[in-house]
Structures are given as C-alpha cells and as structure tokens.
A and B are shown apart, each in its own frame.
Chain A
Amino acid sequence: MSADLDRDLGAWTRQELSREQLLAVHGTAAAALVAVHERLTGAAAAVPLPNAEAGWAALRTRIDAPAPVVPLHRPRPSRILSIAAAAALVLAGIAYAVASRGSHDGAPVVSPASTAPSAGSFSAGVGSDPRNVPAPTRRTASSPAGGGPSAGGRSGRGGSGGGDGSAKPGDDPHDRDQGTGNDGSHNDHGSGNDGPEGSDPPPSHRQ
C-alpha cells in the first residue's frame, strides 16, 4: 500500500475527503478497503446495546456484595501425604539424635563430621590405594586413643598414625587429630602426620 493511499484513507475517515474523490484517485485499491471499513463500521453499529441503567443496577448489587473468598491453595491428598512423610522423617531424626546422646551417658559427642569422615579425607592419609582405606568407626573424644581411622591407617603407605592417641601437655588446644596425639591444629583424620591437612606423614611415621 502506498503512503498516498494511507494518507487519503485517513482523510476520508475524517471526512476531509469524499468517498468519490478517494475512489477516483485510487480506484480499486481503495475500493476494497472502503468496503471492508464500511462493513466493520456497520456491523459494530448493529450490535444491540444493553440497557445501561438496568445493567448498572445489577452491577451495583454485585459490587456491593463482598467479594468471594477463593482459597489460593486447596489442600490435596498428595500434599498432605508429603507433609506427613517429611514430618515423620524429621521426628525420626530427632528421636535418633536424642537416643544417641542418651546412650553415651553424658560423654561429649564428636560431631558427625569427625565420626564419619569422607572418603576424600581418608585418602589424604592413606594415599590413593582404596585397599588402605580403613572402615570408619564411631567413637567419641573420650574413647581410647588409637582406634578408628588412624589405627587402620597404619597399614597404609602414609597411615602410620603417629602418637599414642592420648593428649599431650603441649598439644594445641584446637587439636583435631582425633586421638592420634600429634601436635598442631590441622586435621589429619588420624593418619598422624604433622604437616598440613592432606599431606603425607613424615618418613619417620611411615612403616
């Protein structure tokens, strides 16, 4: 469509240009558009309009009525089951924790992080040979030294497990050697070396 036709059609709808003038200038190109325009105008005008006052009176009644309260979430059986299962798991966890604490009879409990070291932290002391990985055992800080991961680590390349596991007078108060008795604040997960965490033990500790 040309810009001239656009402009003249606009002028025609604003009654600045007569229908005859428009068709004379643009011919059939304008005729089809004029026909559709007039059909739409006629159809829109033919739509019967509701009685405004009656409609407003009816609407006013609905407006004055309190809006219906629609619950945002309707409880569903699956949701209830999920919530119940989650609650049961939480309760079971709490009960287990209480029972575990009671069974140690007041002894300080080592945090799960130290009682169940990851495979990665074990490998730091025993090298990459999976056969050297000792089985993790539960124990508390007051349990006899020497047991647990460090004991198993003795059979490995780097798992000599230095020290007898008892606390020495010079031990770092933040010692986390898990009973192996070495000094320093690093965590050797029982392998007994005194270097940074994850390093091999000194040659003297190797078998």
Chain B
Amino acid sequence: MEVSAFRGSTPANISPPSHDGKGGYEPDGREQERALVRRAQDGDRDAFGELYRTHLPAVSRLVRFRVGAQDEDAVSEVFLRAWRGLGSYRDTGVPFSAWLYGIARHVAIDSLRKRGRDEPREDLPDRGIEPMTAEILTLRGAIEHLPTEQRQVIELKYLVGMTNEEVAAAMGTTPGAINAKQWRALKALADVLEERT
C-alpha cells in the first residue's frame, strides 16, 4: 500500500522522486487511504490498524521532535484520540495526515505539561527511552524559534513527510507558495542555528 503522506521510514518525501516528477501527489494512494478512513469510521478496527501502521513513523518523528524524547505513550495517545475522534473527521480535501498532525501537536503539548509537572524540564533529554541526540535537540530548539507558519511547513514537510501539494491543501495555499515558504523557513532556521552556535 502506498499512501501519499507517509512513505514508511523515509521522511520528508525528499527522495526518491515521485513518479509524476512534481512532488509525489498520488491520487491512488489518497483514494486508498480515504477508503480505509471510511471503513475505520464505520468501526473497522483492522482498517484503523492499517492507518496506524502507515502513519506511525510520521507521528513518532513529530512526537520525538515536539516532546524532545521518545514517548511511546504519547504516540499511542495520538492514535487513541484519532480513533475516538474519527466520527468528527470530514474529508474536505485536506490529507488525513494533516488531521493526525493536529492531534499530535495537542498530545505533545499535554505530554510536555505533564512532564513539566512531574519533573524539571532540564531533565527531559536524559529521561527518554532513547537517548536524545544532540542534533535533534539543537534542531528542535531552533525550530521553536520560528514563526508558526514556517514551523508548520518544516514539520509537515520534514517530519510528517507531506508533499508540497498536501501541505498546500492543509494550509490552504498553492504548492508553489509552499515551495517558497519551505525555503524561507529553512533560511530562517539557518539564521537561528547560526546565532545559537
């Protein structure tokens, strides 16, 4: 099965190039995902299991970057909330992954609040299941300094793995505008990283 938003463990749809050569928009994959979502909305747990397997890498990356640590409970919570909220999901052309992204953001915020109550924030990096690499910490800290829109573009492109077309649908703009926003966001990120070194 090939779903447009996520391609297994390959993030950011950077490589390989899509078969249409224009950023990887795959109508067949989208249609297949729509069918899975409809089945899951009707209570089909196996269909939701397929969605889980497809979107797990992206949700894991997003939670890892947002929370700052490997947090399998948070990842699981994203899908649990998705399952319980499936009835409210409407296919309006925005990818299902964008809907999951919104849930993951909220779960990450809740997880950080909980961790903040339970333990000092500075202890977080060393307390995860997997040791946090310095690179991810550095990038995470720099991304937090970006304006919301640029941060969303970076996360949707590099962590969720959306194509420009999918990000454009999620943000209500054109793929060309997303391409430009992505590089402006990277320029801003480069500036932040340079300031912090």
Instruction: Determine how close the nearest CB of chain B comes to the CB of A52; give it in whole angstroms.
Output: 5
Binary contact readout A1-33 vs B (1 if CB under 8 angstroms, 0 otherwise): 101011101100111100000000000000011
In the bound assembly, the distance between CA atoms of A1 and B21 in angstroms comes to 24
Interface contact A56-B53, CB-CB below 8 Å: yes
Interface contact B10-A45, CB-CB below 8 Å: yes
Whether A41 is near chain B, meaning CB under 8 Å from some CB there, is: yes
Whether B152 is near chain A, meaning CB under 8 Å from some CB there, is: no
Whether B96 is near chain A, meaning CB under 8 Å from some CB there, is: no
Number of A-B contacts (CB under 8 A): 108
Interface contact B61-A47, CB-CB below 8 Å: yes
Q: Which single residue of chain B is at the shortest CB-CB distance from A3? A: B180
Q: Give A31-84 interface residues, CB cut-off 8 Å to B.
A: 32-33, 35-37, 39-50, 52, 55-56, 58-60, 62-64, 67
Interface contact B190-A50, CB-CB below 8 Å: no
Interface contact B52-A55, CB-CB below 8 Å: yes
Choose one: A6, A13, A63; the contact of B14 (CB below 8 Å).
A13
Interface contact A41-B139, CB-CB below 8 Å: no
In the bound assembly, the distance between CA atoms of A28 and B139 in angstroms comes to 21
In the bound assembly, the distance between CA atoms of A1 and B180 in angstroms comes to 9
Interface contact B183-A33, CB-CB below 8 Å: yes
Give the interface segment out of B28-36, B87-95, B119-127, B128-136: B128-136
Instruction: Determine how close the nearest CB of chain A comes to the CB of B99; give it in whole angstroms.
Output: 17
In the bound assembly, the distance between CA atoms of A142 and B8 in angstroms comes to 91
Residues of B with C-beta under 8 A to A50 = 56, 60, 72, 75
Instruction: Determine how close the nearest CB of chain B comes to the CB of A77; give it in whole angstroms.
Output: 25
Chain A residues with a Cβ under 8 A of chain B: 1, 3, 5-7, 9-10, 13-16, 32-33, 35-37, 39-50, 52, 55-56, 58-60, 62-64, 67
10 nearest interchain CB pairs?
A44-B11, A40-B158, A32-B190, A36-B190, A15-B17, A47-B64, A47-B61, A10-B179, A14-B17, A33-B186
Q: Apart from A41-B12, A44-B11, A48-B70, list 18 A-B contacts with CB within 8 A.
A: A1-B180, A9-B179, A13-B14, A14-B23, A33-B183, A36-B186, A40-B154, A41-B11, A42-B135, A48-B130, A49-B56, A55-B52, A55-B56, A56-B53, A60-B49, A63-B48, A63-B80, A67-B84
